[in-house]
Amino acid sequence: MATKKIGVTYEENIDKIDEIIEKLENSELSLDESITEYEKAIKLIKESEKLLEQAEGKIQKVMEKNGTLKIEEME
């Protein structure tokens, strides 16, 4: 089953997550609407994590290519 990407870039995903959080905090959504928005946020978070992992992999490849593989924990 193919997953539908909600956002295109990491930054767009973060913006959409922020919008959802604002809706949940400031709106008078029904329970069903709140659950739907929460589910959207979870999907965006998972997609963002994948995008970060991909970016990390690209950075590692560049570092390996340059012969300076030094992996440091990022905060």
Q: Is residue 75 part of a domain?
A: no
Instruction: Work out the end-to-end distance of the chain between its first and last CA atoms, rounded to an integer number of angstroms.
Output: 33
Query: Cα torsion at 73, 18, 4, 31 (round to 10°)?
Result: 120
pLDDT tens, 12-46? 999 999 999 999 999 889 999 999 999 999 999 99
Please tell me the distance from the alpha carbon of residue 22 to that of residue 28, in angstroms, as a whole number: 11
Q: Is 1 inside a domain boundary?
A: no
With respect to residue 70, please indicate whether it lies within any of the assigned structural domains: no
> What range does the domain containing 30 cover?
10-61
Q: Which amino acid is it at 32?
A: D
Tens digit of pLDDT for each residue in 43-71? 999 999 999 999 888 887 777 777 766 65
Asked, for residue 4, whether it belongs to a domain, the answer is: no
Report pTM.
0.70
Per-residue pLDDT, 68? 66
